[in-house]
């Protein structure tokens, strides 16, 4: 049994789940907790255990109906905490891949920096065919992370690892479309966090993964979270983040995704 639990929410697409699990190397020594959120394509524990022998232990939790990502994540956290054997919790999303020794690198950093409770990294953005598009970079220092949170999320969700005992004060994921954004805000208000500047995850860009209405709700929820964490010292960043989210609501996901990709590809 490992002291690292990798939490993966799952809703259909077994092929993408297999791709993600295949990226966990045999030197990692992690347990994987999969939360099946009412899927029609059900993962089978016996098949996964036989297929992915590099993973120490695989557990599948099941929702009979689709409850949404926030509920799936909280079901996983509740199970992990109840088990009481895990020191660290890492995240990974279906379709995304870890680079070699990702979890060992993050655990080593946390072991050597006991004041840090949440750690993320940069990520390689790839298309659905695996073609590398660009590296998405995130702020490294704690102060820059706190500033940046008012403009963009300072972490890519599937790159993070955090200390399990912090959940006693941070709590669970809020029931929001931007549950990760709200969760990270709660975390950094209480604990120090960093981003490693190396690429530890390949993130699959799904251009069909969000409808306009859901995207609009994502941005609206983000505005609420942003202002709920108001601090006068960050007023300039709050203003920029507010304007940014309003522009996102007006332009919609397709234009914003195309615009963002073009700007990153030319280095802006």
Domain ranges of the chain: 4-207
Distance CA 135, CA 205 (A): 12
Q: First and final CA of the chain: distance in angstroms?
A: 44
- What is the tens place of the pLDDT at every residue in 130-160? 899 999 999 999 999 999 999 999 999 999 9
Mean pLDDT score of the chain:
91
Residue 92: the pLDDT is 97
**CATH number corresponding to 4-207:** 3.90.550.10
Measured torsion, CA atoms of residues 87, 75, 175, 163, in degrees rounded to the nearest 10: 0
Residue 263: the pLDDT is 42
Measured torsion, CA atoms of residues 217, 225, 76, 167, in degrees rounded to the nearest 10: 180
Whether 173 has a pLDDT exceeding 50, the answer reads yes
Distance CA 241, CA 234 (A): 11
For residue 38, how many other CB atoms are within 10 A of its CB? 17
Residue 264: the pLDDT is 45
Q: How confident is the model at residue 233 (pLDDT cuts 50, 70, 90)?
A: very high
- What is the tens place of the pLDDT at every residue in 84-137? 999 999 999 999 999 989 999 999 999 999 999 999 999 999 988 889 999 999
Structure tokens at 243: 């304007």
Distance CA 76, CA 185 (A): 20
Q: How confident is the model at residue 239 (pLDDT cuts 50, 70, 90)?
A: very high
Q: Which of 166, 28, 159, 172 is nearest to 104 (CA)?
A: 28
């Amino acid at each position: 049994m490992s002291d690292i639990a990798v939490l993966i929410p799952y809703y259909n697409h077994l092929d993408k789940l297999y791709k993600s699990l295949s990226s966990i190397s045999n030197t990692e020594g992690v347990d994987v907790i999969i939360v099946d959120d009412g899927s029609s394509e059900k993962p089978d524990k016996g098949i996964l255990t036989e297929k992915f022998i590099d993973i120490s232990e695989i557990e599948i939790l099941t929702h009979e109906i689709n409850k949404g990502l926030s509920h799936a994540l909280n079901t996983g956290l509740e199970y992990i905490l109840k088990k009481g054997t895990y020191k660290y919790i890492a995240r990974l999303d279906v379709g995304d891949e870890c680079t070699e020794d990702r979890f060992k690198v993050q655990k080593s950093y946390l072991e050597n920096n006991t004041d840090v409770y949440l750690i993320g990294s940069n990520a390689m953005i790839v298309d659905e065919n695996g073609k590398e598009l660009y590296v998405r970079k995130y702020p490294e220092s704690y102060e820059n992370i706190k500033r940046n949170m008012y403009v963009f999320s300072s972490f890519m969700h599937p790159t993070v690892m955090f200390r399990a005992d912090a959940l006693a004060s941070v709590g669970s994921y809020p029931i929001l479309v931007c549950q990760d954004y709200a969760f990270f805000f709660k975390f950094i208000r209480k604990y120090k966090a960093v981003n490693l500047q190396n690429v530890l995850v390949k993130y699959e860009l799904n251009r069909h993964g969000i409808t306009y209405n859901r995207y609009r709700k994502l941005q609206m929820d983000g505005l609420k979270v942003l202002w709920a964490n108001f601090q006068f010292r960050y007023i300039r960043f709050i203003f920029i983040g507010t304007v940014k989210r309003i522009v996102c609501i007006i332009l919609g996901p397709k234009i914003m995704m195309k615009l963002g990709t073009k700007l990153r590809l030319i280095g802006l």
